[in-house]
Each structure stands twice: as structure tokens, then as C-alpha cells.
Chain A
Amino acid sequence: MLVLGIESSCDETGVALYENGVGLIAHVLFSQVATHAAYGGVVPELASRDHIQKLLPLIGQLLTQSQRTLAEIQGIAYTRGPGLSGALLVGAAFAQSLAFARKLPCVGIHHMEGHLLSPLLEQNQPEFPFLALIVSGGHTLLVKVQALGDYEVLGESLDDAAGEAFDKTAKLMGLAYPGGPLLAKLAEQGDAMRYALPRPLLHRADLMFSFSGLKTAVAQLIDKEDLRCVKVQADIAASFQAAVIDVLVAKTLKAVKQTGLQQVVVSGGVSANVWLRTQLQAGLTQLGAKAFYPRLEFCTDNGAMIAFAGCLRLAAGQVSEFDFSVKPRWSLNELRL
């Protein structure tokens, strides 16, 4: 079955074709980063306006690139939530209408399910059951993945998401938008031991996260230190990054011990972080466990993961007919197959 996947939950329009038994056929992405940069954050109305302009041209590109035709598509999947409601609605309305017109099965996908299944698009892939750490701009989740559609959220952030903490701290330091990757780059040259920053909730027995206090601690640091000095900047970045990563790694290892699961899928924008990868690797090796990542371009939002998750669900017989209402807030725990 050849499935078209559509992602439009935030500031990326992504489309892809996935065929079971064959694999990923093609994918195309348009990022709106430049549109929102001038505003210092994603402007929901502008994001929606951009999605409706880009979606069909991107699908045209996708078909040309893959040398497939509309008539060959046998199923359609789109992101139903969570995300920005106006942005989600563009993809949902289009996808369900296209499916209606072509009399195809159609399914709305949970964006986070897309992320947590994305390592299954790679050669080196985990088998169910596994543990997933999803760290993105909007989410910090530790999830027990029993099977397709059977998820248990073991831990999540009580306030800011990990990526959000990176972005907000970068903004405090005067870095350009979106600052997370820039901050991580800066941290590479810094001394992570120079400033002692808190490790929120590190010693709590549960698997919850909290990152907003860390941002406040950095703000106080910035007031005291001279940010014009490049060394200071790099050291603050490194100290901040170490604090976030320490907590992410510690809680993930705790989850491995608690669940006995030996495979850990890591996905979402922050999973591109090099320090996270090295620290996690070291910790997991000691426990005899192993990490699985999607390829770098699929760490952030993309249509491929939606086409893939959609293909699995459609192959399992799931369809959602005619209804293109979206779920801006939607817990993974609610999912079933």
C-alpha cells in the first residue's frame, strides 16, 4: 500500500510517500523558520497561512521526484494533533478531502507517535517493546512502547519542554532564532564545570522533568557575568546544556532500570544534540542497553514519519472517515490501535 503522509502541526510543511514492503519512497519538506525569525517565535496565524500555500506545490514536487502519480496513492495519513490548531486544520482538511475525492482510506496520526516510530524507518531498527525518549520544542516524554498504538507515558515535563528551554535560554543570551542549535554549538567550546546550575527533579524517584527553573538560573547568571566575553558565553552555554542533558540521561537510565527494556528510541529536535548522544551512549552501555535514532533530518518534524505511522495504522485496518477535526492537545496515553 502506497501512503501519502502530510505533516503541518507547527512550522514545517512535510509530505512523504511510504509503501509497505518497499519503504520510504520520497519526502519533501518546507521549513518556515525564516518567516518566524523576525518575530522571535512561531506566529500561529502566519504558520497556517504558509501551510495552505505550500501544501499542494510540495505534493506536486513529491510526485515528480518519486515519478509516481496521484492515481497510485492508496491511502492518506495526516497529523491530527497535538500542535497549533490552525496549522493542523490545513493538513487535516486537505487530506480528508483528497481522500474523500479519491475514495481512499484516511487516518489522522498523533504527531508524537510519528516521532517515536521514526527510528523504524532506518536499517538499524528496534523491535517492540522499547522505551522512547522524545525531546522536541514542544515535548519532553519518556514513553513505554509496547506495540503499535500501545503507549504508556512514564514521564513528561511539568513546564517547559527541553527544546523550549534551549530556545528560551538562547534568546536570553541574545542568540538568533531559533537558538537551540546555536546554543549547542556554542557549548562545544565551553567549560561545563564553570557554573553550577541546578538539575531539576534529578533526585526525585519519578520520571518527571522540569526545565523552567533552569532558565531562571541562567537569567541570574547573565545578570552577573559579562556576556560580551565569548568564553563566558560558551561556558554558560556548556553549563546549561550539561544540566539539561544530565537530567534527560539520568531519567532515561532510571526508566531503563524500572522497565527492564533494553532498547531506547531517541527522537525529536533535541535528539540531534551531540552531548546528549555521547552521554546517553555511555550510560546505556553500562546497563547493556542500546539507543536507536532516526536519521538527522527526521529528528525534527517531517512528513515521512506520518506516512510511515499512517501506513502501519491503515494496514491494520484503521480509518477515520470524513471527520477532519483536529486535536491540538492530545495525550499519547489515549491512543489505541
Chain B
Amino acid sequence: MQLLAIETSSDACSVALYQQGALLVHEAIMPKQHSQQLLPMIDALLAEGQTSLTACDAIAFGRGPGSFTGVRMAAGVAQGLAFGVNRPVIPISTLAAIAWQARVTDLQTYLLATLDARMHELYWAVYRLAANGLEEIQAESLTSYQDLRHFLKQAPFESPVICGPGWAAYAPKEEVCWQLAAPVLPSARSIAELAALNWHQRIDPADALPRYVRDKVAVMATIK
């Protein structure tokens, strides 16, 4: 199986090539440069892997949540590439990608993935390791830090490993009673690995859409 993965939901831009279990990854932090660099990066990656797009069985992309523009770019590129070579797309959650990057071998450990959603809110979700990579314990949510803390107090599981940059953006410094993983950004590496494990989730390119989680983005005009 050969997969190309794209991840542009943050200031990081990364692409990964999964070839029969082996991974090639190119990544860089490049705010506002994704649109210029992404296709050249893919071109270089395929060249390094001595392969071509047509040899890929599917295109995977980080479908959000994250920067609206970033996840839309990943979706647009995934759609264009996949439609162009008539291959399916595998959308992968950026929160799942973060949890996957912080995974621990203990199957009983819960992973809380967090991203800064700005406007005093976080995107977050809870996972646990499973056969197909991750099992979603708590669906992707958008709440304040306080509401997330409230959820954790009542949650039917022990204190999870907290990963991703969202938590640190809002948690007070003195908060020490949590296991924190390094606050890494989502990477195409984990998008590719999760996609390989979720091969059955491939869809038609036209259905390869972002998942924004924040859906209230405009206020209706008040009728005077």
C-alpha cells in the first residue's frame, strides 16, 4: 500500500509518503507559506520516494479541526490530487493525529488531544489505543478551558495524558497534577500512519471536506 498524506492545519506544513510500512516525511514551520511550498514539497517527496502520484493508492489529509484556511487548503489539495489520478481520499482528524503522536504503549491510558481554537476556546477529544490506531472515547468538542476541566472532573476515566498545544495555551502555570506530553503540532507522519490503519475509511474526493468543529462563524444581521 502506498499513501500520500498532507497536513496544513497549523503554521507547520508537512507531507508524508507511506510505502509498504516505510515512511518518508518532509516538514517545516512556515506561516503563510503553505500555498507556495506545499506542491513543491509533494513533488520533492515523491521524487525522494522514487515514485509518482499515480502509484499512490489513496490521498490522506488532516481534515481539522485547526486553522479554517489551513484545513480547507489540505482538503482542496487532496481533492485536486485524488480527482486527478482517480483515487480515494482518507480524511484524518488532526486531534487524533496529535493523540497518535503522544501515544503510550499502555492500552489503558487515555489521551486528551487539545488544540488552541482561539477566542478563549479549545478543540479537544479523548482517545485510547485500539487495533485500528485509536478509539474515540469523547468526540471532538469546542469548549472553554473551564468547561474542559469540568468534563475531566466528571469523566469516567483516570487522568489522561494531555497532548497538543491547546492545553498549555489556557492552563494556569501552577497546574501540575496532569501528565503532559510535549505540545506537538499535528504532523503528516501520523496522518499517514492513521490513514494506513483506517484504509476502510476511504471516500470519494468530492466528499473530502474539512471538519471545522466551530460552526458558528457569523452573526445574522439584525433586521431593523
Q: Which residues of A contact B (CB under 8 A)?
A: 38-41, 43, 45-46, 48-49, 52-53, 55-57, 59-60, 70, 85-86, 89-90, 92-102, 322-326
Q: Mark B10-54, 1 if CB is under 8 A from A, else 0.
A: 000000000000000000000000011011101100000000010
In Å, the complex CA distance between A96 and B53 comes to 14
In Å, the complex CA distance between A102 and B84 comes to 6
User: Of A38, A43, A52, A70, which one neighbours B76 at CB under 8 angstroms?
Assistant: A52
A–B pairs, 14, beta carbons within 8 Å: A39-B218, A39-B219, A46-B218, A52-B75, A59-B83, A70-B83, A89-B72, A89-B76, A90-B72, A97-B84, A99-B80, A101-B83, A322-B40, A326-B35
Whether A95 lies near B72 (C-beta < 8 A) is no
Q: Dominant SS at the A interface? A: helix
Residues of B within 8 A of A56 (CB): 79, 83, 205-206
In Å, the complex CA distance between A334 and B95 comes to 43
Given A45-B217, A100-B43, A100-B80, does the pair A324, B85 have CB atoms closer than 8 Å? no
In Å, the complex CA distance between A152 and B44 comes to 40
Residues of B within 8 A of A39 (CB): 218-221
User: Of B36, B206, B212, which one neighbours A325 at CB under 8 angstroms?
Assistant: B36
Whether B68 lies near A92 (C-beta < 8 A) is no
Of chain B, the residue at the smallest CB distance from A98 is B80
Residues of A within 8 A of B213 (CB): none
In Å, the complex CA distance between A272 and B80 comes to 34
In Å, the complex CA distance between A300 and B28 comes to 40
In Å, the complex CA distance between A138 and B77 comes to 28
In Å, the complex CA distance between A100 and B6 comes to 15
Whether B220 lies near A38 (C-beta < 8 A) is yes
- Sorted nearest first, the 4 A-B pairs with minimum C-beta distance are A101-B84, A97-B80, A93-B76, A40-B221
- Interface residues in B62-84 (C-beta closer than 8 Å to A): 68-69, 72-73, 75-84
In the assembled complex, the CB of B204 is this many whole angstroms from the nearest CB of chain A, namely 9
Of chain B, the residue at the smallest CB distance from A104 is B84
Whether B68 lies near A48 (C-beta < 8 A) is yes
Of chain B, the residue at the smallest CB distance from A35 is B218
Residues of A within 8 A of B82 (CB): 101
Residues of A within 8 A of B39 (CB): 96-97, 100, 322-324
User: Of A43, A85, A97, which one neighbours B79 at CB under 8 angstroms?
Assistant: A97
In the assembled complex, the CB of B224 is this many whole angstroms from the nearest CB of chain A, namely 8
In Å, the complex CA distance between A40 and B84 comes to 37
